[in-house]
Structure 1
């Protein structure tokens, strides 16, 4: 508590908060929100401070709103604050009708604000269109998701934009963001502070950017105080910036300068320089890696398959930059062992991350498919998580011929630091708070899903089946599987071409997902034109109903390719596991037998044991 000049406690600081509200002993400050890509200030956020009537000193917002809550006048204070800010903005809006006002709403009065019409009356009073106001709700103070969803729906219908504020402070809930679908997600200062030196923060920030892009929201990074933080926010995909680095909060005095900012051009220039340097470095690094791969191709060309392992071991020993190397045949089957750098980067061996063995099918991998689908001699992937080591890597693949003149594909994995963050959860230590661990665990789960995705259709791949299905069989009873085959798929490829066939596969996955109502159900590409659908808590009768929906949807679908309409049908084999003692092989094997019968008896139908 503050003391006056005589050393006595100043007990009047917020003794009469109702008087402060009634007499408007409040002052509004404004901070710019900047879009660097557009090189402009897109709006301002109104921030309220109280004024101590006895000392004329500022009262911090936290103290002000806490006292209002204690005295049960939160709604009155909230409305008074909005009144001051809207009154100011109403003066500048006619001269700058393209700018936005960010207006905070106290989450404690969220329920009272639904349907009251008070905010609508306020903006109408000052002739401000709702479409130019962003209502900020502090995410960490909202405890009731239903109330939040109702509030957002009501005010969006009136034309307001809605922002979730303080996201990333430890209360953040991905499900809540997906539920509300805010127009703007404001990332809290705690996640932005020193982000350039913290890979955990970079990973979490990037996950919010990806989520925002999926739901059509914008990301604003709050509390950006340094050039380094600003550059990292932009590099990770942040759309807008707010913080002391670009502007300090200030009162609305010089209206003509309200939206001016000399630092935007400087930051834009610095960011371009940073990205240009990064690009040059990456390009030079890539040239060196291509040279290494070419040296490997020169050595491998003409060798027999039996000599591959020895040659790869020598290459791995000579080139530390190679994390893992292996060789595939022309169909994508692994011919060699996977040779990994023993003295290189950390490697995580667990049920997700392990080296592929001879005979492994890589035909659906991103480093194989482009080489067989075109006349390219080499291909470099985007960064992804290596299933051999668990590290972020790129793979460079290149074609060569062995002694027998058979076409082979050499693959080399190289670690990369592009958007990197080492996903490791420590059990102790100063940097491993429970909240951080929880967020990192969630990130791991999501990334593990992504690394088991089929690159063409977006369904899970066959490796995911081996990992997920045994777990589901233990946890969900009854459980049913549907093995699906695209009827006469080879004819589609032969008639229309492989690109048309790819469109059919994608369309099937889309239609199948639309028919899966249970969130725990999932679909995986079993191989080629076969897919496995897993239905948790579903017996064969329920599975047969789902199967018929999918079959009917496919039969009615039109796939458009180069002005041609392609129709297709599917056959389905269904089987249910009602006992935890059932094995994965038994379950899929019986579904496969039923699929065979469905095709034998004419295709375009499903077959389950209940039909016998």
Structure 2
């Protein structure tokens, strides 16, 4: 077992021998040092914080010790709490004297916050003051996958927030992540796990999901940080997903000094690509959707003039991927049968046996759907949804819709096209 410093709850946090960049400290058989990785705001075009990362060497030989090995050695709760205490002191001492209005992100294991033997709020406040740091400069990071169902932990988080610190939920989107933890912890910042970035870089569907995840987190009252960004593609993905902050090797590797100019160059390059490519991507999407929108608008005019569904929707159903058209009343109920493209039928639509309970739509109401609400909000103007899975479960599709009047009735015409 590694020897650890005194972890009694009433024991004062010791004063470091020195402060400032390059400061080191001893912990058992190890010498501890701090490295800092910059965190950039995409909107502000500058570093707004640094995450403190622990580095260690052996006192005997000076050989480096991998962080995972160091933390694995702290197997018991007592040892882990002592290591968190030592890391906290080391990072604050190394960061002391910073005048910049930036955040210092500090990792703390939930056990260190929940256990009575962990650093008390008073000790944390006193230690911050000793190093010339305000609580509002500090972001306490807790690992999402390790959150205990513990009232003491929740109380300690509330105390940290009352002190003035911010709370960050780390590695969200990995493993068994769920929004219940966001609702419960109410973090000011949520850090998306690198696995989210990796998938979103190469898969358009994953990128849409990531974008929706960011939107939901924003609605939960959280700022969103995308970590683990190592490539230009990852930086572009972060901008497309509308995250607030970025972190990763692409913007700066951890080091004993604070952020240099590497991250600023990467940030400018990412914005340059976004300015060029996002407009191009959006324009390409609009160009691809234009024939669908024009043909659904034409179909609504023909229907209002007395044409049948099959006749009115013929042009829309000739577009690539188009499957069917359907007509809804102002309550979202279907008023006539579907019009299908050539070679497609109701039987084929219902061919996925696993989703048989959803095939009968005779009593269905679709007024909650984005295609209905969008059409309702902008009458006589064609709308296009984001891609989604149909309730029949057989395919991903998008829907083009338009609200129009026919014989004194308000109707919404919809057309589905498979991706």
Q: 2:56 matched to which residue of 1?
A: 50
Indicate which of 405, 412, 415 corresponds to 1:413: 415
Asked if residue 292 in structure 1 is aligned to residue 299 in structure 2, the reply is no
- Contact between 2:252 and 2:263, CA under 8 Å: does it hold in 1? no
Q: 1:218 matched to which residue of 2?
A: 223
Q: 1:265 matched to which residue of 2?
A: 268
Q: 1:232 matched to which residue of 2?
A: 237
Distance 1:352 1:183 in 2: 42
Q: Which moved more, 1:280-289 or 1:63-72?
A: 63-72
Asked if residue 318 in structure 1 is aligned to residue 323 in structure 2, the reply is no
Asked if residue 182 in structure 1 is aligned to residue 187 in structure 2, the reply is yes
Distance 1:268 1:313 in 2: 42
Q: How far did 1:352 drift?
A: 7.2
Indicate which of 393, 400, 405 corresponds to 1:395: 400
Q: 2:107 matched to which residue of 1?
A: 104
Distance 1:107 1:181 in 2: 15
Distance 1:245 1:29 in 2: 16
- Superposition map of 1:511-526 within 5 A: none
Q: How far did 1:32 drift?
A: 0.6
Distance 1:32 1:346 in 2: 52
Indicate which of 266, 281, 285 corresponds to 2:284: 281
- Contact between 2:295 and 2:315, CA under 8 Å: does it hold in 1? no
Distance 1:290 1:117 in 2: 62
Distance 1:68 1:362 in 2: 56
Distance 1:278 1:119, change over 3 A: same
- Contact between 1:338 and 1:356, CA under 8 Å: does it hold in 2? no
Q: How far did 1:356 drift?
A: 4.3
- 5+ residue gaps, structure 1: 1-13, 418-612
TM-score between the two structures when normalised by the length of structure 1: 0.56
Deviations 1:546-592, CA, capped at 9 Å, x for gaps:
xxxxxxxxxxxxxxxxxxxxxxxxxxxxxxxxxxxxxxxxxxxxxxx
- Superposition map of 1:534-573 within 5 A: none
- Superposition map of 1:238-253 within 5 A: 238-252=243-257
Other structure's SS at 2:156 match: helix
Q: How far did 1:194 drift?
A: 3.7
Asked if residue 32 in structure 1 is aligned to residue 38 in structure 2, the reply is yes
Distance 1:167 1:368, change over 3 A: closer
Structure whose CA Rg is larger:
1
Distance 1:280 1:169, change over 3 A: same
- Contact between 2:37 and 2:254, CA under 8 Å: does it hold in 1? yes
Q: How far did 1:142 drift?
A: 2.8
Indicate which of 51, 57, 75 corresponds to 2:81: 75
Q: How far did 1:185 drift?
A: 1.1
Q: 1:59 matched to which residue of 2?
A: 65
Distance 1:104 1:409, change over 3 A: same
TM-score between the two structures when normalised by the length of structure 2: 0.79
- Contact between 1:313 and 1:339, CA under 8 Å: does it hold in 2? yes
Distance 2:92 2:261 in 1: 15
Q: How far did 1:130 drift?
A: 0.2
Q: 1:599 matched to which residue of 2?
A: none
Indicate which of 170, 176, 180 corresponds to 2:175: 170
Q: 2:148 matched to which residue of 1?
A: 143
Other structure's SS at 2:96 match: helix
**Larger RCO: 1 or 2 (CA < 8 Å, sep 6+):** 2
Indicate which of 112, 119, 124 corresponds to 2:124: 119
Distance 2:90 2:366 in 1: 63
Q: How far did 1:301 drift?
A: 5.2
- Superposition map of 1:473-484 within 5 A: none
CA RMSD of aligned residues (A): 3.6
Q: 1:441 matched to which residue of 2?
A: none
Q: 2:335 matched to which residue of 1?
A: 335
Q: How far did 1:65 drift?
A: 1.5
Q: How far did 1:328 drift?
A: 4.2
Distance 1:72 1:235, change over 3 A: same
- Contact between 2:403 and 2:411, CA under 8 Å: does it hold in 1? yes
Distance 1:145 1:273, change over 3 A: farther
Q: 1:90 matched to which residue of 2?
A: 96
Distance 2:192 2:368 in 1: 37
Q: How far did 1:241 drift?
A: 1.0
Q: Which moved more, 1:218-227 or 1:379-388?
A: 379-388
- Contact between 2:110 and 2:146, CA under 8 Å: does it hold in 1? yes
Q: 2:8 matched to which residue of 1?
A: none
Q: Which moved more, 1:160-169 or 1:381-390?
A: 381-390
Q: How far did 1:333 drift?
A: 5.3
Distance 2:369 2:81 in 1: 57
Distance 1:386 1:142, change over 3 A: closer
Distance 2:194 2:171 in 1: 8
Count the aligned residue pairs: 391
